[in-house]
């Protein structure tokens, strides 16, 4: 069984992110594998182990994204591919989906393509479904429980109203949510293997496609208005007295 895990490199979730001269800056914070994508890698590795398959990690990004791919390799992926091309600057989610779909086709005979639910930088969360649409594959989004058996997949999807059980034939695209279970840590052996891995770079020419036209653009990046709040500490002799004052303050804000 051939399995792809699509991952993205993003600034660490603890980064203090600000807009400087209209550009996003995360200071000295490290770039890491998107936290949601670790669940996708974990799900891919579990399928590999269950079905004697191989997992190929794919990322689109600059040279630095090799580090995120190395994390995936250290977790246990068999190989990694970086898609990098100057012409991809400013690409939107639909363009990303076109590129990832082309890469999945070039890998060939892929049964399962795993994604995290969204990237914590752009927060759009639509690239998995768009990739499925480009490929013409079923989309099993937000999967919390995954069972693959005899050419089909049955998943429990985590939706607003609870869980929805859905099945589809392979090949299929799956996105994975945190309910799936904790991703494994890279092993010592895995880290050693990853540090020595040669990661090939595919350009758009390698994929045999032109640069996708971005229809979505983001001309302005802003810092949110700073919240001018001074915290009023409520004090009193007893918990009841404090609670009584606090309740009055909250009621006076007319938010109930």
Residues 143-172 that bind other proteins (CB under 8 A): 154, 156-169
Give the residue with the Cβ less far from other proteins, 74 or 94: 94
Binding-site size for other proteins (CB under 8 A) equals: 82
Q: How far is CA 199 from CA 58, 66, 107, 147, 245, in A?
A: 10, 7, 14, 30, 62
From CA 126, how far away is CA 118, in angstroms rounded? 7
| Residue 24 touches other proteins, criterion: CB under 8 A | yes
From CA 191, how far away is CA 198, in angstroms rounded? 13
| Residue 14 touches other proteins, criterion: CB under 8 A | yes
Q: Which of 14, 2, 94 is nearest to 56 (CA)?
A: 2
From CA 136, how far away is CA 138, in angstroms rounded? 7
**Rounded to the nearest whole angstrom, what is the least distance from the CB of residue 6 to other proteins in the complex?**
15
Q: Which of 142, 123, 122 is nearest to 132 (CA)?
A: 142
| Residue 227 touches other proteins, criterion: CB under 8 A | yes
| Residue 97 touches other proteins, criterion: CB under 8 A | yes
**Residues 114-133 close enough to bind other proteins by CB under 8 A:** 120-127, 129-130, 132-133
| Residue 94 touches other proteins, criterion: CB under 8 A | yes
From CA 38, how far away is CA 185, in angstroms rounded? 10
| Residue 232 touches other proteins, criterion: CB under 8 A | yes
**Residues 51-70 close enough to bind other proteins by CB under 8 A:** none
- The torsion angles phi and psi of 153, rounded to 5 degrees, stand at -125, 140
Piece in contact with other proteins (CB under 8 A), picked from 6-14, 70-78, 185-193, 200-208: 6-14
Piece in contact with other proteins (CB under 8 A), picked from 52-60, 107-115, 184-192, 213-221: 213-221
């Amino acid at each position: 069984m051939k399995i792809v895990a699509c991952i993205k490199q993003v600034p660490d979730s603890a980064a203090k992110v600000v807009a400087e001269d209209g550009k996003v800056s995360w200071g000295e914070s490290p770039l890491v594998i998107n936290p949601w994508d670790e669940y996708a890698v974990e799900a891919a590795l579990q399928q590999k182990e269950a079905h004697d398959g191989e997992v190929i990690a794919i990322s689109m990004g600059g040279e630095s994204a090799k580090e995120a791919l190395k994390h995936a390799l250290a977790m246990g992926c068999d190989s990694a591919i970086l898609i990098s091309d100057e012409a991809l600057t400013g690409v939107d989610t639909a363009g990303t989906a076109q590129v990832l779909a082309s890469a999945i086709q070039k890998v060939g005979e892929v049964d399962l393509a795993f994604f995290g639910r969204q990237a914590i930088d752009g927060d759009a969360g639509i690239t998995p479904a768009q990739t499925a649409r480009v490929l013409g594959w079923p989309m099993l989004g937000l999967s919390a429980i995954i069972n693959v058996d005899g050419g089909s997949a049955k998943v429990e999807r985590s939706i607003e109203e609870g869980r929805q059980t859905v099945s589809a034939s392979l090949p299929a695209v799956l996105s994975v949510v945190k309910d799936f279970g904790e991703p494994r840590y890279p092993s010592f052996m895995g880290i050693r293997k990853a540090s020595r891995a040669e990661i090939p770079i595919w350009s758009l020419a390698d994929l045999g496609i032109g640069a996708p036209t971005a229809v979505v653009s983001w001309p302005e990046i802003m810092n949110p208005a700073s919240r001018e709040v001074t915290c009023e500490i409520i004090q009193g002799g007893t918990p009841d007295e404090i609670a009584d004052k606090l309740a009055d303050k909250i009621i006076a804000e007319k938010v109930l």
